[in-house]
Structure 1
Amino acid sequence: MTTEPGKSPIPADDLQRQLTVARPGDKGSLKHIALAGDIYTILVTGAQTNGRYCLIDMRIPPGGGPPPHRHDFEEMFTILEGQIRFTFRGQDVTVNAGETVNIPANAPHFFRNASGRPARMHCMCTPAGQEDYFRQVADPVPSANSEPPKLTEAEQAERGKKAAELAAQYRTELLA
């Protein structure tokens, strides 16, 4: 690619955008939520990246993980601690600490912590929006180390109904 001398093909710096630093130790700076028995901390939001991506820290207890679903955005997971079994288009793959997996847009998938020990991973969604969906359907908790709230069957059913009702708005399809 050639450009005129002194002209760049890259747009000018957007001075309205700010540096984002996620500091898990700062009280109140990050939002922690409980969803399906997991604890998620929203590290970087779409509002901070101009909608390009979001980054979520996920703490998954033994047996934890979401139901089968698919969505029209990319999702990348880097396992920080433990081991997670991903089911992608019906095939299982085990991903260990230090490894990364990318889920292509529109592909049916889910994950489970089948290791018997807690696991932790970072999830990047691009473009952003998944973090907003999670905040709509999850319960706030005080910290990343919180226990998820004990929900009655009726409360669990209510959360599931809300997730199903909002799924399409957030470009997600929950699968049976």
Structure 2
Amino acid sequence: MSSQSFVLQPGQRSPALNVVGVRINVLVSDTDSAAQRITLQSGEEGAGPPPHCHDWDESFFVIRGQVLFTCAEQRCVCAAGTLVHIPAGTVHAFSFGPGGGEMLEVTGAGSQAIPMFRALDREVPPGPLDVAKTVQVAGEYGLVFHL
């Protein structure tokens, strides 16, 4: 696949995915770039995934609010302007702080994050969380929860 330059205006984004309470807008997918994938993630206070790991690196840049990250058992409250890099295989979690928040997520080639987000949006309905279904669907993309 060869990447081509493009401009994505605010009104051109696809509708946000709902992934267990986190709104995820896909900004750059594997069909847009061979090298990276970018999502815009936002959520209300407390929203975010429990401890988990996967076989791709990811980096987050906090745009608005605060996000509590736990990486390899270290906890850090990250304000807007903070960059967090998480190597593949590292157990991590995050949750949005008071008033909610927003951040960019960047992953590289080989990441299964966006296909997993799409599957979770499609197969795990909003409402009370179906933990078994969430674990099953995420596991199909190489994500392992550490509950």
- Answer yes or no: is the 8 Å Cα contact 2:18–2:126 preserved in 1: no
TM-score using structure 2 length: 0.88
- Answer yes or no: is the 8 Å Cα contact 2:42–2:101 preserved in 1: yes
Post-superposition offset of 1:55: 0.4
Partner of 1:107: 90
Specify the SS of the correspondent of 2:99: coil
Q: Does 1:124 align with 2:110?
A: no
Q: Does 1:36 align with 2:20?
A: yes
Q: How does 1:53-92 map to 2 (within 5 A)?
A: 53-92=36-75
Once residues 76 and 137 of structure 1 are traced to their aligned partners in structure 2, the CA distance between those partners, rounded to angstroms, is 21
Q: Does 1:18 align with 2:1?
A: no
- Answer yes or no: is the 8 Å Cα contact 2:20–2:126 preserved in 1: no
Q: Does 1:45 align with 2:29?
A: yes
Post-superposition offset of 1:150: 5.1
Task: Give CA deviations for 1:63-118 in whole Å, capped at 9, x if unaligned.
Answer: 1111110011111000001111100111101111011110111000000123x112
Once residues 102 and 68 of structure 2 are traced to their aligned partners in structure 1, the CA distance between those partners, rounded to angstroms, is 12
Once residues 48 and 31 of structure 1 are traced to their aligned partners in structure 2, the CA distance between those partners, rounded to angstroms, is 17
Specify the SS of the correspondent of 1:137: helix
The alpha-carbon distance between structure 1 residues 24 and 161, as it changes in their structure 2 partners (threshold 3 A), is: farther
- Answer yes or no: is the 8 Å Cα contact 1:22–1:44 preserved in 2: no
Match of 1:169 among 121, 140, 143: 140
Once residues 118 and 19 of structure 1 are traced to their aligned partners in structure 2, the CA distance between those partners, rounded to angstroms, is 32
**Identity, % of aligned positions:** 26
Larger Rg: 1
TM-score using structure 1 length: 0.74
Once residues 94 and 41 of structure 1 are traced to their aligned partners in structure 2, the CA distance between those partners, rounded to angstroms, is 23
- Answer yes or no: is the 8 Å Cα contact 1:35–1:139 preserved in 2: no
The total of aligned residue pairs comes to 145
Unaligned runs of 5+ in 1: 1-13, 141-148
Post-superposition offset of 1:136: 0.3
In terms of fraction of residues, the more strand-rich structure is 2
The alpha-carbon distance between structure 1 residues 45 and 150, as it changes in their structure 2 partners (threshold 3 A), is: closer
- Alpha-carbon RMSD across the aligned residues, in angstroms, is 2.1
Unaligned runs of 5+ in 2: none
